[in-house]
Amino acid sequence: MSHFAPVALHQASRLINHGPTVLVTSAHGGRANVMAAAWSMPVEFTPPRIAVVIDKKTYTRELIAASGAFGICLPGAALAALTFAVGSTSGYDEDKIARHGIQTRPGPVLGMPVIEQGCAAWLECRLIPEPHTQDAYDTCFAEVVAAAADARIFASGRWDYRDDNTELQTIHHLGAGNFVRAGGVVRGAA
Amino acid sequence: MSHFAPVALHQASRLINHGPTVLVTSAHGGRANVMAAAWSMPVEFTPPRIAVVIDKKTYTRELIAASGAFGICLPGAALAALTFAVGSTSGYDEDKIARHGIQTRPGPVLGMPVIEQGCAAWLECRLIPEPHTQDAYDTCFAEVVAAAADARIFASGRWDYRDDNTELQTIHHLGAGNFVRAGGVVRGAA
């Protein structure tokens, strides 16, 4: 049973506000791929826009160029090994989705493959063509057109990190396959 | 006594690889400012380049436009309240550095103010002028020209999150003044 529920678009940027490592999913013409990306960030709340760095040599970039869209999925801590694995091989060399038995479903607006099992949330994104930044910095801007999250960890527009949902908590790549899991909540507001 | 030691430039991007909330420092003509930014990411390891979203209405953007440079400082968990405070007021309204008694020192290459007390690391950055992305997405690209980190938590190019350095561990903004502190290390590599 899926615990996923839609996230309002004006709250979608919050899903990556804290810098999680993400899985980038892509598809075109019957082919699909998944890769890991440590480098992404929101750039605007309304309209919800993000930026993500995707190397121009990747199969993902080829599929995004063809479809003009991609998915962003947030792996929970239980998917750390899978995240590292799909970040270490190329879709040019193997069908990573089949190899790892990853279950995807089509996103509601663009049909991009999104992953729910083991993930905390996903965002379906339409590329905003910016040839210069794509070329010079491998930086792809996109508008978020749909989003959803597992209600056990993100509900009513807010993250809720608790002792009983550690497997869904986002992971943040330190390098060399080591991630930190988001841990204790620190309150900065008075 | 400072525990800060230089970080090799080819390893500088690792400092923000895991998506910490940062403090952006700026200075020009005797004026200086500090603000919080949740949205930053590396875009390249070599040369070390980053992107950070800084609203064009901020005093920080005015100072960066004048100096062509800024600092990125990584507040540890002990600075969560300060981070939220300097992210909630404008340098147009008050001298935040004086108000909060923040100790800064000039960075070694560009003289940008950097903060060591309570911080895990800092990067001194030279703006790469990109008028379109600065205007359309408030996204500022920059090259890192110097970096240093507290050796108790980042040494030999690697983060080391331990039970005895929780106060220096980076914070990641969930929204509304709530941060998660990077917690347990999850190993994704075999």
pLDDT at B37: 97
pLDDT bracket for residue B82 (50, 70, 90): very high
pLDDT at B184: 65
Residues from chain B contacting residue A19 (CB–CB below 8 Å): 18-21, 38, 41, 172
The complex's ipTM works out to 0.94
Tell me the average pLDDT across A59-78: 97
Q: Of the candidates A65, A60, A109, which has an alpha carbon nearest to the alpha carbon of residue A86?
A: A60
Q: List Cα–Cα distances, B180 to A77, A162, A168, A185, B173, in angstroms.
A: 14, 11, 14, 4, 6
What values do phi and psi take at B38, rounded to 5?
-85, -20
pLDDT at A184: 64
Q: Of the candidates B88, B58, B82, which has an alpha carbon nearest to the alpha carbon of residue B70?
A: B58
Interface touch A43/B183, C-beta < 8 Å = no
Q: List Cα–Cα distances, A190 to B7, B96, B176, B177, in angstroms.
A: 34, 17, 10, 8
What does the radius of gyration of chain B's CA atoms come to, in whole angstroms? Answer: 15
**Mean pLDDT score of chain B, rounded to an integer?**
95
Q: Of the candidates B125, B138, B136, which has an alpha carbon nearest to the alpha carbon of residue B68?
A: B125
pLDDT at B190: 60
**A177 dihedral zone (left: phi>0; alpha: psi -120 to 50; beta):** left
Q: Measure A182 CA to nearest chain B CA, in Å.
A: 5
Digit-coded pLDDT (tens) for A131-169: 999 999 999 999 999 999 999 999 999 999 888 999 999
Q: Which residue of B has its CA nearest to A48?
A: B137
- Please report the number of interchain residue pairs, chain A to chain B, with beta-carbon separation below 8 angstroms: 193
Interface touch A180/B176, C-beta < 8 Å = no
- Give the global pTM: 0.95
Residues 28-57 of B with CB under 8 A from A: 38-44, 49, 51, 53
3-state helix, strand, coil in chain A (%, to 5): 25, 45, 35
User: Strands A69-75 and A22-28: what pairing?
Assistant: antiparallel
What values do phi and psi take at B169, rounded to 5?
-65, 140
Q: Which residue of A has its CA nearest to B173?
A: A18
Digit-coded pLDDT (tens) for B132-154: 999 999 999 999 999 999 999 99
Tell me the average pLDDT across A40-58: 97
Q: Which CATH number fits domain B4-181: 3.30.70.100, 2.40.30.170, 2.30.110.10, 1.10.10.2840?
A: 2.30.110.10
Q: Of the candidates B42, B36, B35, which has an alpha carbon nearest to the alpha carbon of residue B16?
A: B42
pLDDT at B187: 75
pLDDT bracket for residue B189 (50, 70, 90): low
The one-letter code for the residue type at B35 is M
Question: A112, A34 in Cβ contact below 8 A?
Answer: no
